[in-house]
Amino acid sequence: MKACEKRPVSSEQLTSIVTYVENQIQNTAKREISTIEIGEMVMQQLKDIDEVAYVRFASVYRQFKDVNSFMEELQDMLKK
Question: Model's pTM, two decimal places?
Answer: 0.76
- Each residue's pLDDT tens digit, 42-65: 989 998 999 899 888 888 877 777
- Each residue's pLDDT tens digit, 1-36: 999 999 999 999 999 999 999 999 999 888 899 988
pLDDT the model gives residue 29: 85
pLDDT the model gives residue 78: 76
Q: What is the mean pLDDT of the chain?
A: 88
For 1-67, what is the HEC assignment?
CHHHCCCCCCHHHHHHHHHHHHHHHHCCCCCCCCHHHHHHHHHHHHHHHCHHHHHHHHHHHCCCCCH
